[in-house]
Amino acid sequence: MRWILTRREARVNNPLISLQNLKTYFFSEAGSVRAVDGLDFSIDKGETVGLIGESGCGKTTTALSIMRLLPPNGQILGGKIIFDDQDLLELDAAAMRTIRGSKIAMVFQEAATALNPVLTIGEQIAEVITLHQGATHREALREAAHLLEMVGLPDPVRRLTEYPHQFSGGMRQRTMLAMAMAGQPSLLIADEPVAALDGPLQAQVLELIDNLKRELDMTVLLITHNLALAAAICERIVVMYAGEMAETAPVATIFTAAAHPYTQCLLRATPQLKADRLEVIGGSVPDLVSPPPGCRFHPRCPWALEICSQQSPPTVEVSGGHLVNCWLMKQ
């Protein structure tokens, strides 16, 4: 049976974080860029969720909104981000600094630029431990060595004295994960954590994230444009298109019964799933200063109906936990 849900009614079991009608815009001379425009999804405690979509669809803006680390021209204009029963958007700057790192940590794509080139690896990790755990410098260095060991870096005590330029790309990404773990967060946001690594290293770092999640009882939001990578460790997928959610479902459902035309296009463009020929998604990502009316995917959608260019699609639950924003679901 299918039934229509309003956005507020989309149910989850035991959410650690819940984004409700989140709107984040950027302001430029060209106009207001509606980077995230009414986004709703939740992540249950202990769950790993993959946030998927093409570049520019709002994935990283979503993460930066959760962290409240938007650049000066970005602003959260509406909605709620409920984390551990409190709305992060109502916290003052000091309270948000406490949450950042100690309860929610973020790992960025470019570990090379995220690390300070003039400080040793040990100093950088120890600083985070001292800040969030109140440890002495000596205790913090001991804990830093333990964290480097945990993320699989050999000879961790010696590594503490080295600088980022002495590390390979994979080692730097592991170091970023160690720093993220230093605050013992309950939510880890990993933004394209393996995009700068080659194939075998990608699998190793994803496996590491999965292992850390289990060992430390964390919840993970993995941001990636690659569905196949997300499938490696995620339990559920949220597909974003042009600042909005297109579809969410358990990962197996996405791969066997994706219902949104955009998700289906993404699957056909995923290398691991089709060895003979990859399809390119026709058209281009819309300008978010003046996005298309109705369904934002309608100019590229092979199955667009007349109503698609006139009215925003409803959210339809097609099976347990499988929500689709598409007019076709009402046919």
Q: Rule CB under 6 A: is residue 114 a binding residue for ligand SF4?
A: no
Q: Rule CB under 6 A: is residue 242 a binding residue for ligand SF4?
A: no
Nearer to ligand SF4, 232 or 308 (CB): 308
Which tokens belong to 228? 């196949």
Kindly tell me which residue out of 301, 316, 318, 323 binds ligand SF4, with binding defined by CB under 6 A: 301
DSSP classification of residue 291: P
Q: Rule CB under 6 A: is residue 305 a binding residue for ligand SF4?
A: yes
Q: Rule CB under 6 A: is residue 328 a binding residue for ligand SF4?
A: yes
Measured between alpha carbons, how far is 296 from 23 in angstroms, rounded to an integer?
16
Q: Rule CB under 6 A: is residue 125 a binding residue for ligand SF4?
A: no
Which tokens belong to 282? 């026709």
Which tokens belong to 252? 């197996």
Kindly tell me which residue out of 79, 183, 261, 286 binds ligand SF4, with binding defined by CB under 6 A: 261
Q: Rule CB under 6 A: is residue 326 a binding residue for ligand SF4?
A: yes
**Amino acid residing at 218:** M
Kindly tell me which residue out of 59, 159, 298, 322 binds ligand SF4, with binding defined by CB under 6 A: 298
Q: Rule CB under 6 A: is residue 96 a binding residue for ligand SF4?
A: no
Q: Rule CB under 6 A: is residue 160 a binding residue for ligand SF4?
A: no
Nearer to ligand SF4, 208 or 254 (CB): 254
Nearer to ligand SF4, 273 or 328 (CB): 328
Q: Rule CB under 6 A: is residue 323 a binding residue for ligand SF4?
A: no
Which residues form the interface with ligand SF4 (CB under 6 A)? 260-261, 295, 297-298, 301, 303-305, 308, 313, 326-328
